[in-house]
Chains A and B, each alone.
Chain A
Amino acid sequence: MVTQESVLQKRFSLSELVDTESFKEVFQSFAELYRVGVKVFDGQGTKLVDVRVGNADFCGYLFQFGPTQQRCTALVQQLKSKDWWSEQEGPEMPCTVNCFSGLRYVVLPLVHEGEFMGRVIFGPFVPQANPEPSPLLRQLEPKLEAARLEQLMAPVRKAPDDVIQKVVEQMRKVVDVILFTSYRAMMVSQMHIESVTTAYQDLVEKNRRVEEANERLKEMDKLKSSFLATVSHELRTPLTSVIGYSEMLLEGMAGEMTSEQKEYVTTIMEKGESLLKLITSILDLSRIESGNLKLNLVDVDLYEVIKAAHTSVVPQAQKKKLTLKLDLDPGLPRIVGDGDKIRQILINLLGNSVKFTPEGGTITLRVKNFFGRRKSPLKTQDATGGAELFAIAEESFVRVEVEDTGIGIPADKLTKVFESFYQVDSSSTREHGGTGLGLSIVKSFVDAHKGDVWVESTLGKGATFVVLLPVERP
């Protein structure tokens, strides 16, 4: 969470934005060029620039007498702080302010992004159209001498209003550029600091979380390992005896048995062995479901994995007189994954097809490069409407298909086959055997690889299981 006030919300005053000394120099040169004085105040009324040209003696003379001094002080106060622009619509324009002495000022607001930053007071100058000291002066203070007033006013710059307007406009543009450039520079430097600070805080926080998680995982890993070891030992030890003694009985070590007895003991031994397999599968699954499924990520050579899986199902297939076909792209990429798990995926799918394909059927293992979309979007933790909407990107996959000519799966059961302990028809358990865990393990392993798996089927004609394994880990 970003808590400290960002530079984006901060308001800068004029003196924070500009370098005051350089700013003064700019106005100094304006004043020298046009021979008119300039003052600059910031938004709070603090004077930043004060350049006087030509009017010092004239104004000093007026300041010597009470009434004119009062008027002078009042005018200066007004120039400095009055909001001349409150009645204006839109961008604030310069205002002309007449001094009681007959001189004139132009007050220019400094506005940046619609924000009042300060004001420039340009003047005084003598209006060309009326270049005399005001008659009001001598009414206010009869001691003022007319000749002296005229003499002192002479050095003050005379200018027509339109010239002054142009000068002020020029000044406004220059100041505008200075403000914009300063603001921009300020933003760049402040944003540098802010983004580095934020990135640093992120890293600190991430490190802390990684450390915590690491500690927790280590502890859980220990617990899990000891639990699994105990359970597997406790379950398997008696079972090994059951199987072992059955074997000994069958071998006649306790004397000859009748054929009926042999048949019974054979059943005990076979069922014992399938129970052992079941326990092994359940241990696999419990590891997966407790989230402790760890992928041992390495560069996987798919050809090796495919070969190994293929070899291990050949005997079963031959027993049922099934044809096992391989159809591989010659240019399969190496992918980052867990070779053992991928092999298990293939073995389970092939074993499943062998189980449900009647004698004389065909099973095809097809592995191809594929660029396209997933069938079901990858689950993300914070999937909102928008994220779902955008989840239509195409990616590079290795596409594995296991096609058989077996009994097929009804359309309404196509997704259920991946659930644990599910079999399409409970009677098929008796006919085909198995635990109903094979496909659920396939799904877990595919999910762990951030892939996608589904099945397509025509009832009675066969089924095709499709697995997409992403080439790059998403």
Chain B
Amino acid sequence: MVQLNLSQREIILKLVYYGPALSGKTTNLQVIYQMLDPKSRGRLMTLDTADDRTLFFDLLPIFFKTNAGFKVKLKLYTVPGQVMHNSTRRIVLAGADGVVFVADSQLREAKANNDAWKGMVENLKQNGLDVEDIPIVIQFNKRDLPDIRSDEEIEKIRQTGREPVFKAVAVEGKGVLETLYAVLKASFQALNTKHDFERKFGLQERDFLRAIFKNVDLKTRGINLGEDLA
């Protein structure tokens, strides 16, 4: 749930990276941390255990000022993927404005993906959110590994499902910004419909997206995020 602080001219958005254990949620955030302009993002906070497994969450704050002088703060969270941390996942998911579901492309992880998805739907419900109402983007990560879902299967999922679907190799930075861009766009549109950002805060979708991806070298990285950033 977006936090609007009109007196302090401030908008706070929350995006959550959800998915089964070891699907690459933290890696997504690490890539975003590396690629974004250091001036517009804070430190990546990782609350993990000694063996690098996320214990509570990772948090990457992104902030910028709009032309109309509003402070916009995005908080990108990951949830801990291990099954036992469900209550933490629910806490982190509370009030999310958008979700990236990071699925593991490996065939043997299909069940883990299913379980995580079901858990997410349930946790959203527990937080009073409907899976139909919240913008969700699906990322099939680890496309570089053997024994993975075929491109045809993913294409089928893309065509039959409601959610936008992206393919990624997060460790190589592939597909990460594309996914982020999609969830930002979808979340902005959902919030704009609800709160009329454009009129009330003079915040246009294009400016919102541009501010976040400011000074990101998309061209040399061969990333095309569409006309908005051209």
| A interface with B by C-beta (< 8 Å) | 1-2, 6, 8-9, 89-91, 112-115, 180, 183-184, 187-188, 191, 194-196, 198-199, 202, 380, 382, 384-387, 389-395
**How distant is the Cα of A89 from the Cα of B67 in the complex, in angstroms?**
10
Give a binary string over B30-49; 1 marks a CB under 8 Å from any A CB, 0 the rest: 00000000011011010100
Q: Is the CB–CB distance between B127 and A2 below 8 Å?
A: yes
Q: Is the CB–CB distance between A392 and B56 below 8 Å?
A: no
Report which of B91, B111, B127 forms a contact with A194, defined as CB distance below 8 A: B91
Q: Is the CB–CB distance between A198 and B118 below 8 Å?
A: no
B173 CB–A CB distance under 8 Å = no
Q: Is the CB–CB distance between B94 and A8 below 8 Å?
A: yes
Q: Is the CB–CB distance between B56 and A387 below 8 Å?
A: no
Q: Is the CB–CB distance between A395 and B126 below 8 Å?
A: no
| B interface with A by C-beta (< 8 Å) | 3, 14, 39-40, 42-43, 45, 47, 55-57, 59, 61, 63, 65, 71, 73, 75, 77, 85-88, 90-92, 94-95, 101, 103, 107-108, 110-111, 113-114, 117-118, 121-122, 125-128, 131-132, 136, 138, 153, 157, 160-163
Which residue of chain A is the closest to B122 with respect to CB atoms?
A382
Q: Is the CB–CB distance between A91 and B39 below 8 Å?
A: yes
With contacts A2-B127, A8-B92, A195-B56 known, is A387 near B45, CB below 8 A? Answer: no
Q: Is the CB–CB distance between B42 and A198 below 8 Å?
A: no
Which residues from A are CB-within-8-Å of B86?
199
Report which of A194, A385, A393 forms a contact with B110, defined as CB distance below 8 A: A393
Q: Is the CB–CB distance between A391 and B114 below 8 Å?
A: yes
Q: Is the CB–CB distance between A195 and B45 below 8 Å?
A: no
**How distant is the Cα of A393 from the Cα of B42 in the complex, in angstroms?**
39
How distant is A419 from chain B, measured CB to nearest CB, in Å?
28
Q: Is the CB–CB distance between B160 and A385 below 8 Å?
A: yes
Q: Is the CB–CB distance between B56 and A394 below 8 Å?
A: no
Which residue of chain A is the closest to B132 with respect to CB atoms?
A384
With contacts A90-B39, A195-B88, A198-B91 known, is A387 near B162, CB below 8 A? Answer: no
Q: Is the CB–CB distance between A114 and B91 below 8 Å?
A: no
Which residues from A are CB-within-8-Å of B61?
113-114
Which residue of chain B is the closest to A188 with respect to CB atoms?
B47
Q: Is the CB–CB distance between A390 and B91 below 8 Å?
A: no
With contacts A1-B128, A9-B95, A386-B131 known, is A113 near B42, CB below 8 A? Answer: yes
How distant is A28 from chain B, measured CB to nearest CB, in Å?
26
Which residues from B are CB-within-8-Å of A187?
45, 47, 56, 59
Q: Is the CB–CB distance between A390 and B114 below 8 Å?
A: yes
**How distant is the Cα of A89 from the Cα of B211 in the complex, in angstroms?**
12
Which residue of chain B is the closest to A373 with respect to CB atoms?
B110
With contacts A8-B92, A180-B45, A202-B87 known, is A89 near B118, CB below 8 A? Answer: no
With contacts A390-B113, A394-B110 known, is A114 near B63, CB below 8 A? Answer: yes
With contacts A183-B45, A187-B56 known, is A382 near B121, CB below 8 A? Answer: yes
With contacts A387-B114, A387-B118 known, is A2 near B85, CB below 8 A? Answer: no
Q: Is the CB–CB distance between B163 and A386 below 8 Å?
A: yes
**How distant is the Cα of A9 from the Cα of B122 in the complex, in angstroms?**
22
**How distant is the Cα of A338 from the Cα of B129 in the complex, in angstroms?**
39
Which residue of chain A is the closest to B162 with respect to CB atoms?
A385
Report which of A113, A198, A390, A395 forms a contact with B73, defined as CB distance below 8 A: A113
Q: List 23 A-B contacts (CB under 8 A).
A: A1-B128, A2-B94, A6-B95, A89-B65, A90-B39, A113-B73, A114-B61, A183-B45, A184-B47, A187-B45, A191-B56, A196-B87, A199-B86, A202-B87, A382-B118, A384-B132, A386-B131, A386-B136, A387-B114, A389-B160, A390-B117, A392-B153, A393-B111
Report which of B3, B71, B87 forms a contact with A199, defined as CB distance below 8 A: B87
Which residues from A are CB-within-8-Å of B101?
386
Which residues from B are CB-within-8-Å of A384?
121, 131-132
Q: Is the CB–CB distance between A380 and B56 below 8 Å?
A: no
